[in-house]
Amino acid sequence: MPDDEIQKKITDNLEKINHGLLIFSGKGGVGKSTVSANLAVALSKKGKKVGLVDVDIHGPNLAKMLGVEDKKLEVTSEGAKAVQVNENLQLMSISFLLMDPDSPVIWRGPMKMKAIQQFIGDINWGKLDWMIIDSPPGTGDEPLSIAQLMPATGAVVVTTPQEVSLMDSRKAVAFSKKLNLKVFGIIENMSGFACPHCGKKIELFKEGGGEKAAAELGVPFLGKIPLDPGIVDMGDRGKSFLDEAPDSETSLVFSRIVDKIIQTAS
């Protein structure tokens, strides 16, 4: 557990944050970081003040995806400030502290826990409507640390439609409930692909499994995000897909999901 000084900093910061939301999955490869980045951008586009925290210590991707990988933290008399992505969105990631972006972070659990504490406690976030936590997959150190540090945090579970992913998503929902995290719902990512030539929808990874799992587990189903090559392209180029393609079906899906999340929190 954090010492008294860092715990006070964490408590003081959390008092200025209206809602905390943990985005995680039971397994890797479901596009969780992509979902986290676009949910944070969607919230910011609705006028919400958002702090996005990348607690994937070993594989931080959000700085690259949001086009701020070359930025550094600003240190002021009031403490370090997270990197500003847009007017309403700030980002904190271990990638801002690495001398070489290709250097691996070879840390055990206690060091990762300390870093997460500092991300929340030592950064001067100011007043936020939402703090979005992008956690690595699984139910290990990082999501457990967040649940302990932010007891009021809610959770969104990201899955893909195939059965293997859904098995792990059920575990993620059970993990949330055991830690008294409010489950805001399940998002089914990579749900169908529209052929760019004929427009026909192709179910590459099946479809509807996330919705079925949500019904079985008694948690809300937030929506289906299609497999969209534009998201991949924009993420690699460090551009916001929601800004570049605001009228696309995928952007509209993100907007509707965010509306559901806001409604659930109110």
pLDDT digits (tens, 9 = 90+) for 27-79: 777 889 999 999 999 999 999 999 999 988 888 899 999 999 989 898 887 77
pLDDT reading at 177 higher than 90:
no
What average pLDDT does the segment 96-115 reach?
82
Residue 2: pLDDT over 70: no
| Interval 16-25 mean pLDDT | 91
pLDDT for 197 equals 64
pLDDT band at 199 (very low <50, low <70, confident <90, very high): low
Domains and CATH numbers, the chain: 4-265 (3.40.50.300)
> Residue 172, Cβ neighbours under 10 Å: how many?
25
| % of the chain at pLDDT higher than 70 | 92
Residue 126 Ramachandran class (φ > 0 left, ψ -120 to 50 alpha, else beta): left
Angle between helices 109-121 and 4-14 (to 10 degrees): 50
* 133-154: average pLDDT: 79
Classify the C-alpha dihedral 33-144-218-41 as positive or negative.
negative
At residue 63, the pLDDT reads: 94
H or E segment at 192? Answer: none
Confidence check: pLDDT of 102 > 70: yes
- pLDDT attached to residue 198: 63
- Sign of the alpha-carbon torsion through 196, 197, 202, 204: negative
| Mean pLDDT, all residues of the chain | 86
- Which residue, 101, 100, 64, is CA-closest to 237? 64
What percentage of the chain carries pLDDT values higher than 90?
Answer: 41
Q: Is the pLDDT of residue 216 over 90?
A: no
Structure tokens at 199: 């427009």
pLDDT at 1 over 60: no
